[in-house]
Amino acid sequence: MQLNDLRPAEGSRKNRKRIGRGNSSGHGTTAGRGTKGQLSRSGGGKGAGFEGGQQPLAMRLPKLPGFTNHNRVEYAPVNVSRLEILYADGETVDAETLKAKGVIKHDYIPVKVLGDGELTKKLTVKVDKVSASAKAKIEAVGGRIEEC
């Protein structure tokens, strides 16, 4: 047996219905669409989402969920545990040094120090905001906080 001898099983493949190719084909004249009416026309029928004249769901729902507060301030978060790893005892933590160490991407974005982790070094923190837990941990080891 060769590849060119292979054939599909008898009756497993069916020719497609060739519509609108003359009356002798059995599907000429109206091409199986019936006579007149919306569905017999080219491009006829109702569009996707049509609900019988009722206001469609897509139009009943609001265009966008919620709203965006344009006055929201996004802070770059930095945890106390990160300061413990990157800074030596007595160093100053500010946006410039954080950017230099690769903690934050831009030094013009406001920075907030958060209280996740432990701190054993005495640091001077000069950032835009400090969480209450971070403030307690920094001051507990003798550090100083200067909020800009």
One-letter amino acid for residue 33 of the chain:
R
d(CA 19, CA 33): 10
First to last CA, the chain: 86
- Return the CATH number of 74-145, one of 3.50.50.60, 3.100.10.10, 3.40.630.30, 3.40.50.720: 3.100.10.10
In 43-141, alpha helices (H): 57-60, 80-86, 95-100, 132-140
pLDDT in tens, 62-113: 888 888 899 999 999 999 999 999 999 999 999 999 999 999 999 899 999 9
Contact 21, 29 (CB under 8 A): no
Query: Up-side HSE of residue 1: CA atoms within 13 Å toward CB?
Result: 4
pTM (2 decimals)?
A: 0.57
Q: Please tell me what DSSP assigns to residue 109.
A: S
Q: What is the pLDDT of residues 101-148, one digit of tens each?
A: 999 999 899 999 999 999 999 999 999 999 999 999 999 999 999 987
Give the E-state strand segments of the chain in sequence order: 76-79, 92-94, 111-114, 124-126, 129-130, 144-145
Q: What is the pLDDT of residue 145?
A: 95
Predicted confidence at residue 122, as pLDDT, reads: 95
| Closest of 110, 145, 141 to residue 124, by C-alpha | 145
- Residue 80: other Cβ atoms inside 10 A: 24
Q: CA torsion sign, 50 to 53 to 55 to 57? A: negative
